[in-house]
Structure 1
Amino acid sequence: MEGTVLAERVATPDLQALWQRGTEFLGSRYAIMGGAMSWVSERHLVSAISNAGGFGVIACGSMSPALLEAEIAATQALTDKPFGVNLITMHPDLDALIAVCLRARVGHIVLAGGVPPGSAVRAVKDGGAKLVCFAPALVLAKRLVRSGADALVIEGSEAGGHIGPVSLMVLAQEILPVIREVPVFVAGGLCRGDAIVGLLEMGAAGAQLGTMFAATEESIAHPNFKQAFFRANARDAMPSVQLDERFPVIPVRGLNNAGTRRFLQHQAETVRRFQAGEFNKEEAQLSIEHFWAGALRRAVIDGDVEEGSVMAGQSVGQVRAQKSVAAVMAQLLDEAEAMLASRGSARNPA
């Protein structure tokens, strides 16, 4: 009932005007996207976000084409509202995954994890879907627009999971005043509607949130995973640390735990073995990269929040209790509309 009531709620004219470009692009009531989180952004959470007026996004991750096809069908059985699919550009079956999305009439395909190959861009565009890409810098944003991206997401380093090096506020100041050809959605550390208003006024078309939705009632994440969020502060969500520049570590933001501490020890031991001639460079790099294999699933699904990877953005400090997706959406709208109303009152005092 709660979700039904919210889905019928119309944003105030001021808020509608601010994010109209985003809602028209997404086809949703509100320009609020759900972040694509592996093991979390599946049928239940994605459909709940879309049913609550937002725009859910399935995280394909390492799914096979057959698994993705089943996940899309299951999501369509739970919602008749628009949703998208996030595909990783490095997936070996990328072309087949795009074909699955197009056959299922998914209207928006997000290509993440690197610059999408031209063949993938053409397949999405020729198939009639809208293409969304991530832009970590202005020069890449311009390149993606030229290559055919229909919308961009700029995600700051405050976000959870795999991150870039630059904060959202810096990216927003660099990109929003310049990129006007396509809608630009902002992400990273967002957890309040009034903050979203400020970014909309800077030129954003909408916002993407992940951490806030990962701990909702509809999220299938293990209770231990959610409880870890409720206990955490912003400073507990830290990027992975690289000990030796010869062995790069892809930065991932998550909650500090026994696993993150053991990863540092593992890197140090691997470097020692490399220097002692026990490993060649390739073997040492693989040893470091394989440390976290399966760690996200262990945390999200199995509930091992000590040794698993508890990916979370810095907004985790604002997540204090489990709420429904509809309640989170209502909170964001309340905060955004209250901010706009207060400004209206200041301009027109009684």
Structure 2
Amino acid sequence: MADARARLDRLWSRGTAFLGTQYAIMGGAMSWVSEMHLVSAISNAGGFGVIACGAMSPDQLAAQIAGTQRLTDKPFGVNLITMHPDLLDLVRVCLEAKVGHIVLAGGIPPGPAVRAVKDGGAKLITFTPSLALGKRMVRSGADAIVIEGSEAGGHIGPVSLTVLAQEILPHLRDVPVFVAGGLGRGEAILAYLEMGASGAQLGTRFAASSESIAHEKFKKFFIQASARDALPSVELDARFPVIPVRGLVNEGTRKFLEHQAETRDKFLAGDVTKEEAQLLIERFWAGALRRAVIDGDVETGSVMAGQSVGMVTKVQPVAEIIEELIAQAVAALEDRAAP
């Protein structure tokens, strides 16, 4: 076992050195879920927690960072959405609080934000959906890259992690690359490490952990769900684009389709303009994620979840989840070494 554990440590040594952690396991940034309690729990268990800033104001983010620092003395990061109107102020808040790693997500990071992160001495982590953009991110200053497959929960791209890993891992060696999307077991993490990944990012399994502030109904919905229940949102009419979001199918999912149809009919009847119709569709889910996570409305709320939700079988402490992942990876290595 010692040899297998040492082998695992070597495989993700680049990731652990970059993050400053015992294990190269990052927590996915999930709005309303990835707050101080879950983030500190992941970091205290040897992983790397990441605060999901989402739509927070600078003051709200400062409070979350301070709260996390009270709960852990281990490294953690902050995920900022590039489209946030106060992005530069949010970067400033992170730097003033001595946050060592800043993740810029949700689009190509603007130059001023990248420069602010780099000039402030923090390490910059970005996402890429392709090899070409990943190389461009590195040239622009990214210190590490996350490649997230369509198996992930929440906002997703069109390509699976299996394909992204084959496209990117053999060719992007300048910085550590972390894999994400659909990961629920240690053997899978090990496979990507052996392909060249430096670590992994998981969200769905941590969302249903004991330390997650998500409502008990939210966690129970995860436990009852299978991978086939976590589907992307459906676009009814190409004239009104819908950003794909993966979540558990519920009454809200069905009502969203009806809402799109009704809104399209209003547009065709001349009752609303195209722009008004698009806004009506986009606003359907306003507040729906909070309703699901905080209020426990799993019927009409947005229950974002990755396809790994089928591997969530019970509510577990974060430390137990991480220990389980490590044990699975080590056991796989031991099996390969057996005569």
TM-score exceeds 0.5: yes
Q: TM-score, normalised to structure 2's length?
A: 0.99
Partner of 2:193: 200
Partner of 2:288: 295
Q: Is the 2:4–2:334 contact (alpha carbons within 8 Å) kept by the matching residues of 1?
A: no
Task: Quote how far apart the aligned CAs of 1:159 are.
Answer: 0.2
Matches within 5 A, 1:84-233: 84-233=77-226
1:323 aligns with 2:316: yes
Mapped partners of 1:119, 1:24: distance in 2: 27
Counterpart residue identity of residue 95, structure 2: L
Counterpart residue identity of residue 106, structure 2: G
Match of 1:280 among 273, 277, 289: 273
Q: Is the 1:133–1:151 contact (alpha carbons within 8 Å) kept by the matching residues of 2?
A: yes
Mapped partners of 2:13, 2:47: distance in 1: 13
Task: Quote how far apart the aligned CAs of 1:11 are.
Answer: 8.1
Aligned length: 338
Task: Quote how far apart the aligned CAs of 1:342 are.
Answer: 1.0
Q: Tell me, which stretches of 5 or more residues in structure 2 are unaligned?
A: none
Match of 1:234 among 227, 232, 247: 227
Matches within 5 A, 1:6-25: 12-25=5-18
Task: Quote how far apart the aligned CAs of 1:10 are.
Answer: 11
Task: Quote how far apart the aligned CAs of 1:344 are.
Answer: 1.3
Counterpart residue identity of residue 170, structure 2: P
Q: Is the 2:4–2:333 contact (alpha carbons within 8 Å) kept by the matching residues of 1?
A: no
Mapped partners of 1:340, 1:122: distance in 2: 41
Task: Quote how far apart the aligned CAs of 1:215 are.
Answer: 0.2
Q: Tell me, which stretches of 5 or more residues in structure 1 are unaligned?
A: 1-8
Cα distance change on mapping 1:220 and 1:246 into 2, 3 Å: same
Mapped partners of 1:136, 1:304: distance in 2: 32
Partner deviation per Cα, 1:208-233 (whole Å, 9 max, x = no partner) = 00000000000000000000000000
Counterpart residue identity of residue 101, structure 1: C
Q: Is the 1:153–1:184 contact (alpha carbons within 8 Å) kept by the matching residues of 2?
A: yes
Identity of aligned residues (%): 73
Cα distance change on mapping 1:162 and 1:11 into 2, 3 Å: farther
Task: Quote how far apart the aligned CAs of 1:20 are.
Answer: 0.2
Match of 2:249 among 256, 268, 274: 256
Match of 1:34 among 12, 27, 36: 27
Q: TM-score, normalised to structure 1's length?
A: 0.96
Q: Is the 1:11–1:333 contact (alpha carbons within 8 Å) kept by the matching residues of 2?
A: no
Mapped partners of 1:13, 1:303: distance in 2: 42
Mapped partners of 1:216, 1:288: distance in 2: 32
Q: Is the 2:83–2:107 contact (alpha carbons within 8 Å) kept by the matching residues of 1?
A: yes
C-alpha RMSD of the superposition: 1.0
